[in-house]
Structure 1
């Protein structure tokens, strides 16, 4: 091969565009899109769209499988790519939805032997208080995330506080408000999901707001 042909071959190789980089793993897409149906269902339940007195068991399949199971899968995926904070966030939400499904199963079927109304209320209060404290801790621990995430977690906190107070005081008027706050955090997480899909498909990032803690 001549020097000229070598130069031409080198120029041709240099002109070739570099191969596109493979997209980074993003378990948040799976986690958020499977979280939303259960979140919307919970909000509608609080608002009275689903009869809270006689039909709470109808929520069991969607909260256990759509959110609980697939958030667990997203958490494992995140852990495998060393996205530790994402894995923890999806893990605690998976724990909530799976345990909520089991709680509904037990209280609507009598599996746990809890049938007295006062005992049921006591179990619900303890359950809600425990997760309320954990979600508040999660909110404080993730203040370095963009503001959209913090706003979503704050509305989760408000929802749990309202639900806890509603069960503790017997004030059923708090549940519709909890339904509204539930739909608000679903809308925020839907926005974050849309941003994730947009970036994964080559679009521009949507504004997420500045983190409260840098």
Structure 2
């Protein structure tokens, strides 16, 4: 190998790593959302609220973290932020449910409703900010985030207001944003396997 070849090898730009973190982030989001929707719509009795945790904690929470780390490694900062926010939501939801079931935090039965309200208010505020901050993403993502906002608002009202109907409605909205997630996953998987992605709509802001 000549000196010139060695020099060219040293100075040649490195190829940026390629990949699509949504191929991990979106399906793990979907499976957790399905489990949560089934809980909220009464598929399992109210006494079995922890039934979804076996999916949400090891699959959805961890999957969102992996997708966030992958996106960050690719320099996809907005994507990393989205997955990191939802990782925080799903993991903290699991901890909340387990904590209330096993009395980890010393929260009395009288304070349990207010504690759940605190959780929902904090996350509703955060996801609304995420929604507003990502209006330059394709419309399908905005629709997903708006539906998450609506679901959280309904479950919040159902929790603090004691309305089973509102909580159930929130569960059906969870299924609605799950359907959007399925659409996004099919689009990403199609692109990853050599096909064309599905139309995602124009961004609200440009």
Contact 1:23–1:200 (CA<8 Å) still a contact in 2? no
CA distance in 2, matches of 1:92, 1:183: 20
Measured on the aligned residues, the alpha-carbon RMSD in Å equals: 1.5
Q: 1:18 aligns to what?
A: none
Report the number of matched residues.
192
Closer/same/farther in 2, CA of residues 161 and 37 from structure 1, 3 Å limit = same
Gaps of 5+ in 2: 1-14
Question: In the aligned structure 1, how far is the partner of 2:87 from the partner of 2:185?
Answer: 17
1:74 and 2:71 aligned: no
Contact in 1 for aligned 2:159/2:167 (Cα 8 Å): no
State the Cα deviation string for residues 123-171 of structure 1 (Å, max 9, x = none).
1000000000000001111111111111011000000000111111111
Structure-1 separation of matches of 2:165 and 2:28: 29
55, 59, 63: which one aligns with 2:52: 59
4+ residue segments displaced more than 2 Å: 21-24
* Alignment of 1:48 onto 2:42: yes
What is the match of residue 9 of structure 1?
none
The equivalent position to 2:194 in structure 1, one of 197, 202, 209, is 202
Equivalent residue for 1:114? 107
Structure 2: distance between partners of 1:30 and 1:213: 27
1:37 aligns with 2:28: no
Q: For residue 182 of structure 2, what is the aligned residue in structure 1?
A: 190
The alignment's TM-score, normalised by the length of structure 2, stands at: 0.90
Q: Give the corresponding residue for 1:11.
A: none
